[in-house]
Structure 1
Amino acid sequence: MVQIMRTKIVSLLLIIILSMTAVIGCGKKNQSTDEDSAQVAVEETTEDSNGETVIDGDKTTDDYTIKVGYGGSLCEAPIHIAYEKGYFKEQGINVELIKLNPGTGFDAITTGKVDVNFALLASLVDPLSNGLPAKITTGVHTGCDKVLVKADSSIKTAKDFVGKKVGVASYTASPYVFLRRVLADNGVGVTVENSEVEFVVYGAADLPLALENGAVDAIAMNDPSAYIAANEYGFTTLFNSATDKPYDEQYCCSIYMRNEFIEAHPELAEKYTIAIQKASAWVQENQEETAKIQVENEWVAGDAVGNAEVLKTFNYIPSAKGAYEAFEIVANQMQEIGMVNEDVDIDKLVTNSFKLFEGLPEEFK
């Protein structure tokens, strides 16, 4: 009887040991399977803009969808290309593109309607000095602003603007800032105390007709509208920020983001900046293809051939440092001509207006 009992105990112990071994074995198998799955997730592939396979190793764990504002202008090409050619996807970020009405970008950022937006650098100086809750992360390109006169105009130089009337879209628009800077650089009074030129606001679409009808002596506009107006009415381009020194080396358009988004999603903010920078570099090398993509996908108006000619006058050399330096130059000059309050500390304004990410590609920092 004792022998039988001993045999049963031994048998029971063997069953327990075998069961534990099986459990341990299953645990190891499951762990191996999980590791294999993780490896597959890291090496999940996509196709880049050239149809080549790339490893999507930069995919972020933050699945927040970035709300991207855009207005439909030609120079927003990097946003359009980042979407169409997969640069957002390459960075592993989700985006929702939201079309904004003209002049509503700052409100959209302030209210949280969008997280990021695209704007002319000069137009950001005054809002940022007055508390716009946002930061610039990179410059995108130079160019954009033009001043047009009629072909038979008596205005040939900056000095000829004295006593003349100029049409602008608004008193904060980049072309208006550009012209005031040009005039000030050439000794023409544009301050409140000494204003030798009269500026008049018209709807952007009405500016060409105002010049054609003689209501104003010159107009300040952005491309591609300026390019189209010059061709349609035979206007002469007197000043061009894309080609006139020293303005041709100063960044015009930039990416800016609301502070709350940067604080809550710093990784996404950096990856979005990188995607735009890479798309900008692609635009620089492929202006004609860019213009075709923009028109075919209804991102912008106009025709691809004409738009490509305008894009060729811009210099898409994305740079965070370049935007920082240009912002400082513009802010100082705007203060000198009375467009920024004299109490504003420009050095602090510049520092507080930027978020410079460490992870940007070296060529774009």
Structure 2
Amino acid sequence: MKKGRLGLLLAVLLAASAVLSGCGKDSGDKKHVVIGEVTRSLFYAPQYVAIEKGFFDEEGLDIELTTTPGGDKTMTALLSGSIDVALVGSETSIYVHQQGADDPVINFAQLTQTDGTFLVAREKIDSFDWTELKGSVFLGQRKGGMPQMAGEFAMKKNGINPATDLEMIQNIDFANIAAAFSSGTGDYVQLFEPTASIFEKEGRGYVAASFGVESGHLPYTVFMAKQSYIDKNSEYIQAFTNAVYKAQKWVAEHNAEEIADVVIPYFENVDRDRLISSIDRYKSQGSFADNPVVDTEEWDNLLDVMTEAGELADRAEHGELVNTSFAEAAIAESGK
């Protein structure tokens, strides 16, 4: 496996991390579950809806949400037992698998099904053509991370070789990428919402294209847990998945304005109009998964993207790291 994806600490944790069945105390008759989300983004609106609309509570779960910026940090938190469930890209579970984990990380409920980033240009471009990336300086994401791989996949699809046609900067920490672009680094950057919309409003950048549209359906952000945790807490994993599906249906049935009003507590520094435009972007391109099933076609597309990026040592087949039984049961229970 190539170095630099999850770091030496991850390898140590794989060897040292014993079976930690939970990291919080149960609250009364409710099961306490700590979720670590890879970033705070409107891309994860259904998760915030599940919390705010009381869907987790209805399922007997007491949710604690923490943000662990970056896939490497999120996976490290999961393996060490400081979180119970990770909301992160499926590629991280594959990297753990490639390191020979005795306690594999299992994808059990999908939240998003496309890349969630947008190509943001420093100058406004009325009619963007991908050839305009040639000779530019591109402020990219972490090597081996899903945003970066999906971004490179989209570039290659549109005739751009990211290794030779532009200068790629990848030495900036995930949490500082937006600030680096704002301070003058790069001609283009890859950003999630609502940051992309905020940049447009403030004149710091302009959305030129959607990497989600270009890269197709992927198990982009998925709820996952260690196999040992799932084995010991299958009842609560089912309850968790039921709540996720309730939220997915609610999001599908409501418009961007209604969704914004529910999730606004998680984005106190973002005005409502920006929230609405960001959510509308994600809804219009089908980024929010309709149900929590990680299907084989999406998984195979992920493996193809990773192979194209040179990040896949061996193909981890769908059945090895994906458990669809909880999602299928959630759908069956709802009657839809």
Task: Report the equivalent of 1:105.
Answer: 74
Aligned residue identity for 1:149: A
Pair 1:309 & 2:309 matched? no
Q: Give, in whole Å, the separation in 2 of the partners of 1:306 and 1:89.
A: 29
Deviations 1:195-218 (A, max 9, x none): 443321334565456546653121
Q: CA offset at residue 245 of structure 1?
A: 4.5
CA contact (8 A) 2:244 2:292 kept: no
CA contact (8 A) 1:87 1:279 kept: yes
Q: Give, in whole Å, the separation in 2 of the partners of 1:204 and 1:333.
A: 20
Q: Give, in whole Å, the separation in 2 of the partners of 1:277 and 1:75.
A: 16
Q: Give, in whole Å, the separation in 2 of the partners of 1:308 and 1:168.
A: 26
Q: CA offset at residue 311 of structure 1?
A: 1.0
CA contact (8 A) 2:90 2:221 kept: yes
Q: Give, in whole Å, the separation in 1 of the partners of 2:110 and 2:81.
A: 22
Task: Report the equivalent of 1:235.
Answer: 205
Q: Give, in whole Å, the separation in 2 of the partners of 1:65 and 1:124.
A: 23
Q: Give, in whole Å, the separation in 2 of the partners of 1:332 and 1:97.
A: 34
Q: Residue 168 of structure 2 aligns to a residue in which SS?
A: strand
The structure with higher relative contact order (CA 8 Å, sep 6+) is 2
TM-score (norm 2): 0.75
Deviations 1:228-279 (A, max 9, x none): 123322533222134x3552x4453222222221111112112211211211
Query: How many residues of Structure 1 are paired with residues of Structure 2 in the alignment?
Result: 293
Q: 1:355 aligns with which of 319, 323, 329?
A: 323
For residues 200 and 123 of structure 1, do their structure 2 counterparts lie closer, same or farther at Cα, with a shift above 3 Å needed? Answer: farther
Task: Report the equivalent of 1:140.
Answer: 111
Structure 1 unaligned residues grouped into runs of 5+: 1-61
Q: Give, in whole Å, the separation in 2 of the partners of 1:354 and 1:90.
A: 26
CA contact (8 A) 1:76 1:118 kept: no
Q: Give, in whole Å, the separation in 2 of the partners of 1:355 and 1:170.
A: 27
CA contact (8 A) 2:197 2:277 kept: no
Task: Report the equivalent of 1:259.
Answer: 227
Q: Give, in whole Å, the separation in 1 of the partners of 2:261 and 2:139.
A: 31
Q: Give, in whole Å, the separation in 2 of the partners of 1:263 and 1:290.
A: 34
Q: Residue 79 of structure 1 aligns to a residue in which SS?
A: helix
Q: CA offset at residue 282 of structure 1?
A: 0.9
Deviates more, 1:78-87 or 1:125-134: 125-134
Pair 1:288 & 2:257 matched? yes
Task: Report the equivalent of 1:19.
Answer: none
TM-score (norm 1): 0.69
| Structure whose CA Rg is larger | 1
Q: Give, in whole Å, the separation in 2 of the partners of 1:217 and 1:209.
A: 14
CA contact (8 A) 1:164 1:198 kept: yes
User: 1:39-50 residue pairs with structure 2 within 5 A?
Assistant: none
For residues 122 and 308 of structure 1, do their structure 2 counterparts lie closer, same or farther at Cα, with a shift above 3 Å needed? Answer: farther
For residues 177 and 232 of structure 1, do their structure 2 counterparts lie closer, same or farther at Cα, with a shift above 3 Å needed? Answer: farther
Q: CA offset at residue 299 of structure 1?
A: 5.5
Q: CA offset at residue 329 of structure 1?
A: 0.5
Deviates more, 1:69-78 or 1:224-233: 69-78
Task: Report the equivalent of 2:35.
Answer: 68
Q: CA offset at residue 364 of structure 1?
A: 10
User: 1:11-160 residue pairs with structure 2 within 5 A?
Assistant: 64-70=31-37, 71-91=39-59, 93-103=60-70, 104-121=73-90, 125-130=94-99, 133-143=104-114, 144-151=116-123, 156-160=128-132
Deviations 1:316-363 (A, max 9, x none): 33334455422320222221231223xx1x2x3432221111412148
Q: Residue 258 of structure 2 aligns to a residue in which SS?
A: helix
Deviations 1:105-143 (A, max 9, x none): 111110111111212445655455445731111222345
Deviations 1:71-102 (A, max 9, x none): 432222222222221211322x2223131331
Q: Give, in whole Å, the separation in 1 of the partners of 2:175 and 2:34.
A: 28
Q: Give, in whole Å, the separation in 2 of the partners of 1:102 and 1:364.
A: 36
For residues 335 and 169 of structure 1, do their structure 2 counterparts lie closer, same or farther at Cα, with a shift above 3 Å needed? Answer: closer
Q: Give, in whole Å, the separation in 1 of the partners of 2:258 and 2:121.
A: 31
Q: CA offset at residue 162 of structure 1?
A: 3.4
Structure 2 unaligned residues grouped into runs of 5+: 1-28
User: 1:184-223 residue pairs with structure 2 within 5 A?
Assistant: 184-190=156-162, 195-201=164-170, 202-204=172-174, 207-208=177-178, 210-211=180-181, 215-223=185-193
Q: Give, in whole Å, the separation in 1 of the partners of 2:289 and 2:124.
A: 36
**Percent identity between the aligned chains?**
18
Q: Give, in whole Å, the separation in 2 of the partners of 1:325 and 1:304.
A: 36
For residues 107 and 203 of structure 1, do their structure 2 counterparts lie closer, same or farther at Cα, with a shift above 3 Å needed? Answer: closer
